Chains A and B, each alone.
Chain A
Amino acid sequence: MKTAVIVFPGSNCDRDMAVALEQVTGRTPAMVWHRDTDLPDGTDFIALPGGFSYGDYLRSGAMAARSPILRAVADAAGRGVPVLGVCNGFQVLTEAQLLPGALMRNAGLNFVCRTVPLKVENSQSLFTASYSAGETINIPVAHHDGNYFADTATLDRVEGEGRVAFRYADSVNGSARAIAGVLNDAGNVLGMMPHPERAIDRAHGGTDGLRLFEAALGALA
């Protein structure tokens, strides 16, 4: 099991993501710099971490989505390699058009930083198979631009195809249809604003996030 964490200038959850991946796989992930053009051979799982890549210049995730390594990530995603984007990683995946929609400034304009309840909408995906449909889990959020937007036709299609992975159980950031996490059409790319890597140890106040990594990485093992 070879995992990789993509590191951009301004990433700040890359280490937390690496700790989560190592805890579940027992192997140290490759930390891949944004200027690199290739992933390590045989990479089985790619994580795009949270943070403020390129200082959120232009739009959150906009610069990172055009960095050299993203071409390799897009190629891998196209071959079916699982890709998890958390927070800024989700913003990067939408900017790179690997996921539909866009993440805009929170409706309340405030940075929101707290643990929020999420409803698991799809428990059949690679990433969510350890949860039950309709289950409520608690995962921290920490973002300013988490307000998910897509046009009505796209929202209808994404919902109709069961690609909403998680929904906010409470009002958090004004997201369309309370979407907190969304899958690509093949189901191997998940973007989510909440941080599962911040809920993997009892000392975090909960371990609901650990189950996501156990499901995704366990399925690959």
Chain B
Amino acid sequence: MKVNVYVTLKPGVLDPQGKAIHHALEGLGFGGVADVRAGRFIELDVVDGTSDADLEAMCAKLLANTVIENYRIERP
């Protein structure tokens, strides 16, 4: 079973990489971009029946640093 995990910076945490991407987009002539925030996408292949609690624990213990990041789990 494929599970998608999206790790994103919490609102209010400065994202210098997102800012650099934003500047680069403007440099390419894309003027209509208000903001860019970069995150991480992780694809897990887990055994069928893996519990929500286990997936939550994987995210909270390792995949995201909850000091600075939020995560979202997307099951098929």
Residues of A within 8 A of B (CB): 58-59, 62, 66, 94-95, 100-102, 104-109, 147, 149-151, 174
Residues of B near A109 (CB, < 8 A) are: 16-17, 20
Q: A94-B67, A149-B67 are in contact. Are A66 and B62 (CB under 8 A)?
A: yes
Size category, B interface: 10 to 19
Number of A-B contacts (CB under 8 A): 37
CB distance from B36 to the nearest CB of A (A): 14
Specify the main secondary structure of chain B where it touches its partner: helix
Residues of B within 8 A of A (CB): 13-14, 16-17, 20, 61-63, 65, 67-68
Q: A102-B68, A149-B67 are in contact. Are A58 and B16 (CB under 8 A)?
A: no
Residues of A near B61 (CB, < 8 A) are: 66
Q: A58-B62, A66-B62 are in contact. Are A101 and B67 (CB under 8 A)?
A: yes
Complex alpha-carbon distance, A158 and B64, angstroms: 23
Complex alpha-carbon distance, A62 and B20, angstroms: 24
B16 contacts A105, CB within 8 Å? yes
Give the nearest-CB partner of A59 in chain B: B65
B65 contacts A62, CB within 8 Å? yes
Complex alpha-carbon distance, A105 and B68, angstroms: 12
B68 contacts A58, CB within 8 Å? no
